[in-house]
Amino acid sequence: FINRIDEKIVFHNLTSEDMQEVVKIMVKPLIVSLAEKGIELKFQPSALKLLAKKGYDPEMGARPLRRTLQTQVEDHLSEFLLAGELQTGQRLKVGVKAGQLKFEVL
């Protein structure tokens, strides 16, 4: 079956709402992982929308989203954890300020 499809398959472009749902699905394991450490991770709708926008490419769809989440969210979370700024029992709220993600430890 490999290399046996001769035609292009055309899919409809993802809408902004579709992308936000994909973002929710992709951040869920991260939320669960931190919850197991006793840390609550909360994404504001504005953060989900920004990630959806940054992680979307008209030709590639949602494929760039994985890398966007790594650079925009996971890298920052790692820095918080390594620096000891985020500990068990705390909450981290991810929002948007001036067009960029804003992380707030509560």
| CATH number listed for the domain at residues 16-105 | 1.10.8.60
Model confidence pLDDT, tens digit, residues 36-73: 999 999 999 999 999 999 998 877 778 899 999 999 99
pTM: 0.83
Rounded Cα distance, 34 and 56, in Å? 25
Does residue 82 or residue 10 have the better pLDDT? 82
Percentage of the chain lying above the pLDDT 90 cut: 75
Who contacts 1 (Cβ-Cβ below 8 Å, separation ≥6)?
Answer: none
Mean pLDDT, to the nearest integer, of 22-29? 96
Kindly indicate the confidence band of residue 26, based on its pLDDT and cuts at 50, 70 and 90.
Answer: very high
Rounded Cα distance, 97 and 33, in Å? 26
Joined tokens for residue 12: 């409809």
Domain ranges of the chain: 16-105
